[in-house]
Amino acid sequence: MAFLGILVMAISGAAVWYWRVKMMREAGSEIIDSVERMRGAYKRGKLRKQAEAAPLASIADPAIAAVAFFFCLAKEKPIHLDAAKDVVRNRMKGIIRPGDMEEVLVFGEWASKNVTSPEDPIRRFRDLWLKALDVQERQQLIGIAEDVAAAGGERTKEQEYALQTLRRTLMN
């Protein structure tokens, strides 16, 4: 009878330890899965940022860069996007050839679709604008940006911040 008791205790002890090892293995698998999910989210975010910047990266003309920035600025008030588009069209008449105007506007609007903040194009195009534009042209760019921000009413906080960033970047 004692032998049977020892055998039952040995089997139940083995079962308890088997269950504990199984739980530890499952916990380890869950931790590894969590780490892999976080790693995948990080990689997706990194790729998303690269994809967002890709249309802007192809711009080498300061006038087209300005139009793309104006649309990023205008997107902060989506209700008044058409009014801002008219402002851009009218103010860029002497800068962009009339035959290219519609194409540039369409490209600028498309390039600005995935930009999350109007400060992104300022950072991206800062060197291009500083090299290609003189002080008077930079002031003209700031003036057009102010008109675009004022289209349809009062400026938003994001637009004010972007305009301050633009002034600070181009005039210092």
The model's pLDDT over 115-146, given as tens digits with 9 standing for 90+, comes to: 888 888 999 899 999 999 999 999 999 999 99
Using an 8 Å Cβ cutoff, are 116 and 67 in contact? no
0.85 exceeded by the pTM? Answer: no
**CA distances to 36, 46, 48 from 41, in Å:** 9, 9, 10
Confidence at 12, pLDDT banded by 50, 70, 90 = confident
CA distance 70 to 82: 12
What length does the chain have? Answer: 172
**Among residues of the chain, what percentage have pLDDT more than 70?**
98
Nearest to residue 118, comparing CAs of 76, 85, 64? 76
d(CA 54, CA 58): 7
